[in-house]
Structure 1
Amino acid sequence: MAADPNVDVVVYGATPAGIAAAVAAGKSGQSVLLIEPTNRIGGLVTSGLSHTDFHSLESLSGAFLDFANRVEAHYIETDGPDSPQVEASYHGTFGEPKVNLAVFHALLDEHPRVERIHQHALSALKLSESQSQKRIESATLVDPQGNTRTIRGSVFVDGSYEGDLMAMAGVEWRAGREGRDEHGESLAPEAADDQLQAYNFRFIMTQEESNRVTPVAPPGYQREDFVGVLDAIASKKIERVFDYPSKCIFKAHLPVLPGGKYDINDVSRGLVRLSLPGKNLGWPDGTAEERQAIYDEHLRDQVGLLYFLQNDPEVPEAFRQEAKQWGWCRDEFLDTNHLPPQLYVREARRMQGVSIYTQTDSEYAEEGTRAKFHRDSIAMADYGNNCHGTHHEGPRFGGKHSGEFYNPVPPYQIPYGVLLPKEIDNLLVPGAVSSSHVGFCALRLEPVWMSLGQAAGHAAALAVQLDQPVQQVDVASLQSQLHANGSATIYVSDVLPDSPDFAGVQWWGAAGGLLKLYPEGTPRKPRGKKLHGQYTEAAPGHAVELDQPLDAKLEQRWRALAESMSVPLAGLPKANGTTTRGDFIRAAATAARE
C-alpha cells in the first residue's frame, strides 16, 4: 500500500496532552494528524474527570487555561453570565463531560492544519537507524474493519496515557515502583516491585430525577461479591453511601458540577475503596483485549457495588434509600449506557528518557521559598505527589490500601528532558513522561498533561522547522514560544497570563531571576489558605511584586544575571528609590529582544 503524503507532526492519542500538542504544532504552522484509537476524544476530561486536580487558579496557564476559559464561555453563552451553571463551573475548570467534549471539538475545528481521525489504532512502526540514533519513518494504523493506513511523519508525539507508540518504537520504559535508594525518594518502597497505582471509574451521577437513569446490574453481577460491604456499614465508620470527602463509599466531589451533576471518585484512605490495586497490572503493556477485560472487571465491581447498595434487602434501609436517590445522567455518555467510556488510568508505562522526574524535583530547594529550579523548565504545576494506593491488604471491603500518599509540595517546574527519549530523535512523549513512580504521581494531572502536550507540540514544530532532532531543540526558543502563548514555566502568583508583563516575567523567571526574592528565614508554606475542597488561594512565597522598589542588593544580583545572559547593561535602570522591580525586568526583556 502506498504511504500517505508526509505530515509534519503525527500525534497519537487525542487525550488532553495529545490535543494540546496538536493545537500547538498547528498554531506554529505545521501540518498535523491527530489520531485517536477510540471514537471519543478528550481522555478522562470527557470521560468523567470533571473535578479538575489543581490547588490554586494561579497555577493554570497555557493550553488548560485556554480550555477552561472556553468552557466558562460556553456556559455564559448558553445559560447567561450570572447563571448558576457559570458559577458552578468554577472558572470553567468544572465542566460536564458533554460540554468538555464539545469544547475540545470546537477548539480543533479552529485549526484547519490539524486533521483528526478516530478509531484508528497503532499496529506497526517503521524505524530507520543512522549512526547511534533511530528515527520513526511511518506509523501504520488499523480501523475496526481491519483496514490499514500508513502515515509518514517528520516528528511523532505520543499523547497516549499508556505510551503505546513509545513502547512500539522500542523506547526504554518502566512500570511499577522504584526502590527507595534508586532515586533517594522517601515516598518510595524499600525495594523495587511491580505495584502500580490503582484505577477506578470517574462516574458522573445526579440526584435530579428528571435527568436520572436508574443503574442496573452489570454483566457478571454476583451478589456474594458484595455482601462484605454490610460489615463495613455495620462498623459505623461509614455514615453515608455518597458524601465528601470521607466516611462514605462513593466520594461525590464538591462543589457540585453544572447541571446538578457529581464527579464520583475513590475515597482516599477510606474503609471501602473503588480503586482496585493489583487488578490493573496487565494494563500498561496489555493488548486491546486484555485491557478490555480489565475495564470490564472494574465495571462489574464498581457498578455492581452500587447496584447491591441500591437493591439488596440486607442493606440497611436508610443506606438503601439514600443510594436509590442517585443515578447516571441521562444526557451523558449516550453511546455507552451513560457510563464513562474510559477507565481512569492513573499510571501505566513511564518512559525512562533524557531526564527522569523524581520526588526531589517537586521538593523545596535548599534555599528560598521555591522548589528545585530547572533552567530548562517547559511547564509548572502545584498539586504534589498523589497516589491512591498500589496494593490492597485484607478483604475487598474493610481491608486497607498500601502505597498510598498525598504529599504537599511548593509549586514545581518540569524540565524539557522528561519529554525526550534517549534513543529516538523525532519522538516526544508528554503522556507517559520520563519519571519515577513517585515523580509521576506529581505529573499525572490533566492540567499538567496539557502543559506538557503544549510544550511537545511547540518543540515538534521547532524540530520540523529547523530539521533537527527533538533533543537539540533550543530550550530558550521553546520557552519563548510557550510564554508568548500564555504557558508558564515557573509559578508566579501575581503575574498571570492575562498580564502584559507575563512573558517578560516568565522569561526572567526561566533564567533564575525570581529565586530568593524573599528574606532568608521566610516561612515555607506549600499551599495558600483553603478556599473549598482541595482548592486554595495562591501559594505564598511566589509573588514577584513588580511594584516593589528595586533595592541595591537585588539590583546587583539581577545585573550579574543579565550580564551572564549577554543582555546589554547600559539601558538597565538602577536602584534609586523609585525604580521598581517591574521597571528592571521590563527593561531587561526589551534589551534582550533588541
Structure 2
Amino acid sequence: MNKITIFKVAISLVILFLKQEVNAITAQEIHRADIVIYGGTSAAIMAAVQSVRLGKSVVVVSPDIHLGGLSSSGLGFTDTGDKSVIGGLSREFYHRVYLHYQKKSAWNWQKKENYGNKGQGTPAIDGNERTMWIFEPHVAEQIMEDFIKENRIKVYRNEWLNRELGVELKLGKIISFTTLGKKKFVGKMFIDATYEGDLMAASKVSYHIGRESNQVYNEQWNGAQPLVFQHGHYFKNNIDPYRIIGDTTSGLLAGISGKQTILKGVGDEKIQAYTYRMCLTDQPENRISFPKPDHYNPLDYELLIRVFNSGWNELFNKYDPLPNHKTDTNNHGPFSTDYIGMNHDYPNASYKRRREILKAHENYQKGLMYFMATDPRIPKNVQENLNKWGLAKDEFKDNENWPYQIYVREARRMIGSYIMTENEVLGKKEVPNSVGMGSYSLDSHNVQRYVTPEGYLQNEGDVGVKAPKPYGIAYGSIIPKKEECLNLLVPVCLSSSHIAYGSVRMEPVFMILGESASTAASLAIDNQTNVQDVDYAKLKTLLLNQKQRLNLQD
C-alpha cells in the first residue's frame, strides 16, 4: 500500500468517525429551560408552578410516572402540625382538595354527612379556611396533574439521572445533566426535589446519611436512643428473640440485628424505617383481598404471634380514615408495617439495589397482611376484623392497587450553608432568613430491632418530642455551601440533622420549600447571581406576596 492510499484510508476513517460523533450528538435529545427540576414529588410540582408564575421557563424531569410523591401515594392523613403556618401553593393544594370534596360526585362510596371529619389534631374539613387536609390518593394525583396542565409545564416522566456520568459541572455550576434515557437538560438553575437527593450527590455537594452524635450539634435527641419510648412502637413485655423460645442456639427470628449494647446519643450510619402507606377499604364492592406476595415465608412473621400472645391488641389504631370508607394505614406497634432496619443502604444504593430493597419492603408488607388474614394462629377476633379490609380497587389501578411510592422518611441530607437542628425546632435558637415554617414534632421512626444485654427483644430509634411553637426554616438550609455549587437548590433533602429532619420532613413543608426554592432561583436568574448571593430582603418580599408564612409575626 503506497503513501497516497494510506492517506486516503486515514481521511475516510476520520470522516466516518466524525459522522458517528455527529449522529450521536443528534440522537441525544437536548432540552433547555431557565429552571430544571429533578423529581416528581409534591415539592417538584410546586417549584415548577411557581417558576411559571414568575415568568421563567421550566422543565420537570421525573423518575416517577405518577406525580406528587407521598401525597399521591397513600399519605392522605396529612401531618399538618400547626396548619396556620402553611401558606402559598401548599395551602392552595389543600384548598383544591376542599373544592373537590364539595362536589357530590366526589362521595361515591360514602355520604359526605357520614364522614367523621377526623384529621390529625385538626378537623379534616375546615369550612372557615376552605381547606381540607385529608384525601384519597387519586384526588391528590389529579390535583397535581391539574397544576401541570394549567401551567403548561413540560414533564419528562420515567427519566432517571445518570448518576455516574450525567452531571456536567463547570466553575462551580451545573451546566446540564443527562438521563439514562439519553436526554440532556441544560439550565441556568437546578432544583433537586427528590426524596433521595441524587442530583445533589452527583453534583459533588456534601451530604450526610444516618444519625449524628448528639455532640455534633449540641442536641439531645439525635444519635442512638436506647430505651426511649415516646410512641407505642416498642415491646412492652419481655419477648424472646430466638426461633425456639429459650434456645439461644436456634438462631434469631427474622429482622433482628443481634445482641447489642447501644449507647445513648452515639452517631451511626443508620436511618429510620420505611413503609408503604397502604390505602385500605372496608367497602365490600371496592375491596380486594390481601394478595399473597411473590416470596412468602410465614416464619418472617413469627414475632407477631408472640406480640399478640403478650396481650397487645392495637392493630387497627392507625387505620386513619379517609373519605369514601378508605384509610391511610400507618405503622403502629412493636411489629407492624415499618420494615425496620432493612433500608440502611438505600440512600447511596445503585438503582438496581434500590429496586431490590423496594421489592423486599413490598413483599414484607404484603406478606404481613396476608399472614394476618390467613394464619390460624392469629387471634380469631383480630383476623375476622382484618378480613373486613382490603386494598382499595379504585386506587393505584395500574400498580395492582399498591402505592407507587415508598415512604422515604429520610435518605441523604445536604450539609449546606446552614444546618437546621433540634435547637431551631425546639425554639432554643433563632432562625436566620426564613423561607417557610415547620411545626411538627421531632419525629423519628425506629431504626433497628435488637437483642438487649438482658436477652430480650427491643426496637430502637423511635422519638417523638413536641415542638413548642412553629419555627422558621432557614434559606441557607436549602442551598449548598458556596464553594460546592452555585446554582442548585435542595428543598427536600435539605441541610438538617437527623432529628430536626424528623420535624421538617412533612409533605406540606416540602411544598412550601419547593415554592421558595423556585422563587429564589428566579431571583438569582433576574439578578445574574449565585443562589448564595440572592438578596434575602427581595426574596422575603416575594414570598410574603405569595402568602407564605415565614415567621409568627408575618
> Normalising TM by the smaller chain, what interval?
0.7 to 0.9
Show the counterpart of 1:563: none
Task: Output the CA distance in 2 between the equivalents of 1:80 and 1:303.
Answer: 29
The C-alpha deviation readout for 1:271-316, integer Å capped at 9, x for no partner, is 3232123200111011111111111111111111110111112222
**In 2, are the aligned partners of 1:382 and 1:412 still within 8 Å (CA)?**
yes
Find the aligned partners of 2:295 and 2:493 in 1 and give their Cα distance. Answer: 32
Kindly tell me the number of residue pairs found equivalent between the two proteins. Answer: 465
1:248-327 equivalences under 5 Å are 251-253=318-320, 256-267=321-332, 270-327=333-390
In 2, the alpha carbon distance for the partners of 1:439 and 1:324 equals 39
CA distance in 1, matches of 2:31, 2:336: 49
Structure 1 gaps of 5+ residues are 245-250, 366-371, 493-505, 507-594
Structure 2 counterpart of 1:140:
178
Distance 1:477 1:266 in 2: 43
Q: CA deviation at 1:79?
A: 3.8
Q: Distance in 2 between matches of 1:374 and 1:281?
A: 31
SS at match of 2:161: strand
Distance of 2:139 and 2:395 partners within structure 1? 10
Partners of 2:408 and 2:97 in 1: CA distance = 24
1:230 to 287, 299, 305: 305
Q: Which letter does structure 1 place at the counterpart of 2:160?
A: A
Contact 1:179 1:192 in 2 (8 A): yes
1:127 offset after TM fit, Å? 3.2
Note the C-alpha offset of 1:80.
7.8
Tell me, in whole angstroms, the C-alpha distance in 1 between the residues paired with 2:465 and 2:100: 35
| Alignment CA distance shift 1:121-1:466 (3 Å) | same
1:353 touches 1:434 (CA, 8 Å); kept in 2? Answer: yes
Which of 497, 513, 533 matches 1:472?
533
Which of 347, 351, 370 is residue 410 of structure 2 equivalent to? Answer: 347
SS in 2 for 1:483: helix
Indicate the residue corresponding to 2:506 in structure 1: 445
Deviations for 1:152-200, whole angstroms, at most 9, x for unmatched residues?
A: 1000000001100000111111101111111000012332211111111
TM-score (norm 2): 0.81
Structure with more contact order per residue of length (Cα contacts < 8 Å, sep ≥ 6):
2
Cα shift at 1:25? 1.1
SS in 1 for 2:359: helix
Structure 2: 5+ residue stretches without partners:
1-24, 119-123, 126-130, 224-264
Say whether the 8 Å CA contact 2:442–2:464 is kept in structure 1.
Answer: yes
User: CA contact under 8 A between 1:125 and 1:136: conserved in structure 2?
Assistant: no
1:183 to 217, 225, 248: 217
1:32 paired to 2:89: no
Contact 1:50–1:96 (8 Å) recurs in 2: yes
Residue 241 of structure 1 contacts residue 322 of structure 1 at CA under 8 Å; is this kept in 2?
Answer: no
The residue aligned with 2:439 is: 382
Q: What secondary structure does 1:121 align onto?
A: coil
**Map of 1:95-494 to 2, 5 A cutoff?**
95-112=135-152, 114-123=153-162, 124-130=165-171, 134-143=172-181, 148-189=182-223, 190-237=265-312, 239-242=313-316, 244=317, 251-253=318-320, 256-267=321-332, 270-365=333-428, 372-394=429-451, 399-409=457-467, 410-422=469-481, 423-491=484-552
1:92 Cα deviation from its structure 2 partner:
2.0
Letter in 1 for 2:431: H
CA distance in 2, matches of 1:307, 1:228: 15
Secondary structure of 2:344 counterpart: coil
Give the Cα separation in 2 of the matches to 1:476 and 1:466.
13
Structure 2: distance between partners of 1:484 and 1:5 = 31
- One-letter amino acid of the structure 2 residue matched with residue 160 of structure 1: T
In the aligned structure 1, how far is the partner of 2:521 from the partner of 2:104?
A: 36
Cα distance in 2 for partners of 1:226, 1:350 equals: 33
Supply the distance in 2 between the matched residues of 1:198 and 1:489 (Cα, whole angstroms). 31
Q: Deviations over 1:401-455 (max 9, x none)?
A: 2121111112111010001111110100001001111121111110111111110
In 1, the alpha carbon distance for the partners of 2:427 and 2:335 equals 34
1:317-354 Cα offsets, whole Å, 9 max, x none, are: 21211111110000000111101111110000000010
Q: 1:87 to 1:230 in 2, by over 3 A?
A: closer
- Supply the AA of the counterpart residue of 2:476: G
Deviations 1:192-219 (A, max 9, x none): 2111111111000011101101111101
Assess, with a 3 A threshold, how the Cα gap between structure 1 residues 230 and 485 changes in structure 2: closer, same or farther. same
Identity among equivalent positions (%) equals 31
Change (3 A) 1:86 1:101: farther
1:9 aligns with 2:48: no
Q: Is the 8 A contact 1:381 1:491 kept in 2?
A: no
**Aligned partners of 1:219, 1:287: CA distance in 2, in Å?**
23
Counterpart of 2:83, as a letter, is L
Distance 1:332 1:479 in 2: 39
- The farther-off stretch of 218-227 and 6-15 is 218-227
Letter paired with 1:149: K
Contact 1:173 1:351 in 2 (8 A): yes
- 1:62 paired residue number: 88
In the TM superposition, residue 87 of structure 1 has moved relative to its aligned partner by: 5.0
